[in-house]
Amino acid sequence: MSLPTAPPSGFRDFLPEQVSARQRVMETIARVYRSFGFQPLATSAVEDLQVLTGQGGGENEKLIFKLLKRGEALDRAVADKTDLADLGLRFDLTLPLARWYSKHGSQLAHPFKSFHMGPVWRAERAQKGRYREFTQCDIDIIGSQSWGAEAEIIGAILAVFEQCGLHGVKVHLNDRGLVDAALAAAGAAADKRAAACVSIDKLDKIGRDAVLAELIALLGQDPADALAKSLLGSAASASPALAEISAAVKILAPSAEIVIDPSLMRGMGYYTGPVFEFRHASLSGSLGGGGRYDGLTERFAGQRTPACGGSIGFERLMLILEETGQGGEHPALDAVVTVFSDELRGRSIEVGAALRAKGLIVDVFPGSGKLKAQFRYADQKKAAYVVVIGPDEAARGVLQVKTLATGDERAMTLADAIVTISA
């Protein structure tokens, strides 16, 4: 029986150009975050299930990939009908950060500014554009109550978009504290408020009337009307913090459009203050977002620590960059050095090493075969030059250097070839 060649449903393979583009963008993100003084941290893909299910993950908890227990532990679990797993793959980077910080935070400069990038896994129903493994790029400031933290996180993420060549990103801003106050003022029952937030969050997707209908059904006519004015109306007011954040973001990104958006909720249960989201005209949904989550480390460290974080939707960013041709390419192949025969392979290897020592990217043909096939190989790999060393060239101590774009071919010394190919 032959084995499957496709990755499992919802998982992906990447071709060389895709990997190059992704690595370039990852390097840009890391470089920009570093330039703001953020430091990288890393956690493992695998966490204890009690960490993953311990708090605030909301809907995502249901999507955890769990690792089957092994050996005797598995036999016991099956016999006793107890849990078959006690480890799982992380579904975001925020819970692992909270755990990491609770363990290592005391060694670090405060407020702690970190970034954290890597794959996360969710057992989503596989569908177009939704993957079971995808990359997140988080940035967080832990230990600061100042709105300066929000401003810097939003500013750094906007700088990433700019550095990737993506212009016109809009920032939507809201304050979950304002939402809570509006819900209380409208007289919404405490146990209905989470559901009300879910409805209000759909404003963009289903429109004002539909949201209002949901709120009436949920809360009754009067509270719904009050919310329509305070949160869904054009006269919705901004908190002082939002004004400060907006002004500071404007300093970092003068051309950024900032929208105070009272309906913005950002699903996750753990946000406690300002929340934000990045949007772009060419994409429905968001390019990333974040907010203040002062309570997150509490369950680990036993104390409430102010924190604020944001995340770039890496897969969506790659999608936009691919569509606009801005993925960014790694340097291309400078030359393919052909191999005339096994006897002359050593000379080709030597020439390749000499060119590489000058910083060039040089591929010595790794197989054997006709020169024609080797030229086709150079074409396919988009090399700029092909170097040929036959018995005649080897005897004369020269190389044939062919420019693939023009077809020009000249015999020259290695020293001249270095100059030509480096030009």
Closest approach, Cβ 23 to its own copies, in A, equals 7
Strand partners, 134: 120
Burial-class residue 394 by CB neighbours within 10 Å (0-12, 13-18, 19+). middle
Residue 397's contacts (CB-CB under 8 Å, 6 or more residues apart) are 413
Distance between CA 327 and CA 178 in Å, rounded?
39
- CB of residue 423 vs its own copies: minimum separation in angstroms? 18
Nearer to its own copies, 91 or 215 (CB): 91
Least distance (Å) between residue 371 CB and its own copies: 15
Do residues 315 and 132 make contact, with C-beta atoms less than 8 angstroms apart?
Answer: no
Residue 189 CB, nearest approach to its own copies (Å): 30
CA distance 15 to 247: 42
Instruction: Supply the minimum distance, in Å, between the C-beta of residue 382 and its own copies.
Output: 9
Other CB atoms within 10 Å distance of the CB of residue 323: 11
Cβ-based nearer residue to its own copies, 57 or 223 = 57
> What 3-state DSSP class applies to 196?
helix
Which residue's CB is nearer to its own copies, number 333 or number 411?
Answer: 333
What are the tokens at 219? 């809360």
Closer residue to its own copies (CB): 147 or 161? 147
Angle between helices 193-201 and 176-185 (to 10 degrees): 120
128 and 10 Cβ atoms separated by less than 8 Å: no
Q: Is the CB of 67 or the CB of 218 nearer to its own copies?
A: 67
- Our CB check for its own copies shows the closer of 138 and 214 to be 138
| Segment (H or E) for 173 | strand 170-175
The residues, ordered by sequence, that sit 6+ positions from 315 with a Cβ below 8 Å of its Cβ are 129, 131, 134, 135
Tell me the closest approach of the beta carbon of residue 207 to its own copies, in angstroms.
33
Pick between residue 145 and residue 403 the one whose CB is nearest to its own copies: 145
**Min dist. Cβ of residue 191 to its own copies (A):** 25
Nearer to its own copies, 192 or 299 (CB): 299
- Work out how close the CB of 287 gets to its own copies at its nearest, in angstroms, rounded to a whole number: 21
Collapsing DSSP to helix, strand or coil, 43 comes out as coil
Centre a 10 Å sphere on the Cβ of residue 190 and count the other Cβ atoms it contains: 8
Sequence letter at residue 393: E
Least distance in Å: CB of 55 to its own copies?
8
Asked whether the beta carbons of 397 and 362 are under 8 A apart, the reply is no
End-to-end distance of the chain based on CA atoms, in angstroms? 53
Which residues on adjacent β-strands are paired with residue 175? 274
| Residues near 248 by beta carbon (within 8 Å), at least 6 away in sequence | 147, 148, 151, 152, 155
Indicate the residue among 143 and 288 with the shorter CB distance to its own copies.
143
Nearer CB in complex with its own copies: 55/286:
55
Hey, CA dihedral for 127, 133, 139, 142, is it positive or negative?
positive
Kindly state the helix (H) or strand (E) to which residue 114 belongs, with its residue range: strand 112-121
CB of 388 to its own copies, least distance (A): 16
